[in-house]
Structure 1
């Protein structure tokens, strides 16, 4: 699990536990295609988790040949990528393009196993190919989203937030999976400041030592001086000022309809939006095939492609590997940074 550094010395590649996602979508072929990439082999040692029969079907669809060693959960250290075969889903039971209990059970067990590996210190990061939330709820009725599942599996009580990541800009948000009508009531100076602190820390883990963050307003035209709402004046501006007093390079609030254009033009590393779709729409237009979802605040990096299971193209061999590749590379960079910080402490 070592590679040669620039000075010729050996350095350990980050170990990434990769959970196969929903078997009825593009996850099997994405997993197979990813494991065949030479730059991924150079960047990380992957412990892939799932059912080898499902993976082999994914490799057939993707048209790739895999060089994998079989491994157990207790013995996954090798120079090559390895596969932990849980042997828990017969391909004959997969209904392509349909969310099912069998598919949700497969994905939740893979995800749980990957999380437990990282929690036990046997992996430096966790990644997964796309899940289908409907299928996950069939298997785990309390499944609201990945954050809730991670907290349940690890008994984690800290603050975890979902970030969307593109090469040129990140998107952080103050509220996430709540109804739009409830957003304003969930905004406070303290909540925004807490998100800015977490965003700053996650950007630093990803290698941005001097991160520049733009903050979006809530209302049209960022409230237009109070004409269209007071949240900018009463809540968002004071939070930005407090963050600046702490030394953060943060500006705003800016109108949400132009903040991403400003960020790309002026070199902001991240945009903080007030609610889910305010940022998601912009990010997916900018780079749907490259977008990564990263969960910040955990003891280890957790990344996945930002797109879904693409039931409509499952089995056609045309799924784009871009976002999955970027998810692994981001997890590897963040894991190396965390390891370096731990060694220096």
Structure 2
């Protein structure tokens, strides 16, 4: 994709902090032309609340993006939202609109009309009210783009973590730890690092069980599934090690021993990253036919409309999207 193409930002759930952080980021100034998939009136309301002097206009097509400073150009691919949409509350209208914005951005990315997608947070409860049965961004992106091999990666200045399993009950995780799943995650971790400019990624794989199973004493998954997958990945030429105990692997990665950690399940991987702070954290969906990055936080309904939301994660996601595209 050409660097001349704009980056697409999806507004997310209008009742959350997405509109506010987009306005703040645009007012600060972004380093590439941008198009927002969202609702013009909602963004204007956020700008008025913040006292941001921005021109917010609707355009018909991505090809009409001008990249003019102090201007937010918006593509509306959903029904206009109610003017009195209450902030900080779940809403079927907001959930449907957030889904529509994302689908429109995916379609434009697939068609090569935008350089990358950067997403503001959506709310799964609002989507469910609208009849959309999806657990989050990652699954929608994969389904809409017909991607089968994908993974969630969280990154900040100190850690990169990619997940083998994502949104599932903890009780279901052991059954999902299979040789193909491990190999897919290891390969995607290598791919993600290379997209980020790391020529020879050092990949560390976390064990599933305490002490990485301790030779089968605390479960067989590490010995029977994860270790063989690591050996096969090594045979393919990847620089990968493990399985390492989950209670020390992230500390070692922070010290610089590894470029990325492959974690087995959602909280094992995301707690260490988010403990370091969500301000600079970025969520990346690896394996898609386009680049997608996102903020590392939710809709924050408790502070929506108060003008205090931090837009740092959105800016970090935008900058990483630029770094990962040609």
- The TM-score, its normalising length taken from structure 1, stands at 0.88
Q: CA deviation at 1:91?
A: 4.9
SS of alignment partner, residue 59 of structure 1: helix
Equivalence map 1:135-154=2 (5 Å): 135-154=126-145
Q: CA deviation at 1:265?
A: 0.9
SS of alignment partner, residue 112 of structure 2: coil
Residue matched to 2:314: 324
Residue matched to 1:15: 6
Q: CA deviation at 1:172?
A: 0.7
Residue 115 in structure 1 maps to residue 106 in structure 2: yes
SS of alignment partner, residue 21 of structure 2: helix
Distance 2:142 2:256 in 1: 37
- Contact 1:22–1:103, Cα closer than 8 Å, also in 2: yes
Q: CA deviation at 1:267?
A: 3.7
Structure 1, unaligned stretches of length 5 or more?
1-10, 337-345
Q: How large is the Cα RMSD of the aligned pairs?
A: 1.9
Residue matched to 2:22: 31
Residue matched to 1:78: 66
Residue matched to 1:65: 53
Match of 1:54 among 42, 50, 53: 42
Residue matched to 1:226: 216
Distance 1:106 1:87 in 2: 6
- The TM-score, its normalising length taken from structure 2, stands at 0.92
Structure 2, unaligned stretches of length 5 or more?
none
The number of aligned residues is 322
Q: CA deviation at 1:126?
A: 0.9
Residue matched to 1:207: 197
SS of alignment partner, residue 272 of structure 1: strand
Equivalence map 1:282-293=2 (5 Å): 282-293=272-283
Cα distance, 1:327–1:158 mapped onto 2, change above 3 Å: same
- Contact 2:3–2:115, Cα closer than 8 Å, also in 1: no
Distance 1:117 1:90 in 2: 22
Q: CA deviation at 1:67?
A: 4.5
- Contact 1:36–1:67, Cα closer than 8 Å, also in 2: no
Residue 303 in structure 1 maps to residue 287 in structure 2: no
Cα distance, 1:191–1:87 mapped onto 2, change above 3 Å: closer
Q: CA deviation at 1:121?
A: 1.3
Residue matched to 2:90: 99
Residue matched to 1:3: none
SS of alignment partner, residue 134 of structure 2: coil
Residue 125 in structure 1 maps to residue 116 in structure 2: yes
- Contact 2:43–2:56, Cα closer than 8 Å, also in 1: no
Equivalence map 1:256-295=2 (5 Å): 256-295=246-285
Q: CA deviation at 1:86?
A: 4.9
Q: CA deviation at 1:62?
A: 3.1
- Contact 1:240–1:251, Cα closer than 8 Å, also in 2: yes
Q: CA deviation at 1:76?
A: 2.5
Q: CA deviation at 1:147?
A: 2.9
What are the Cα deviations for residues 11-50 of structure 1, in whole angstroms up to 9, with x where unaligned? 9445211111111111110111111223x2x2x2111121
Distance 2:8 2:272 in 1: 30
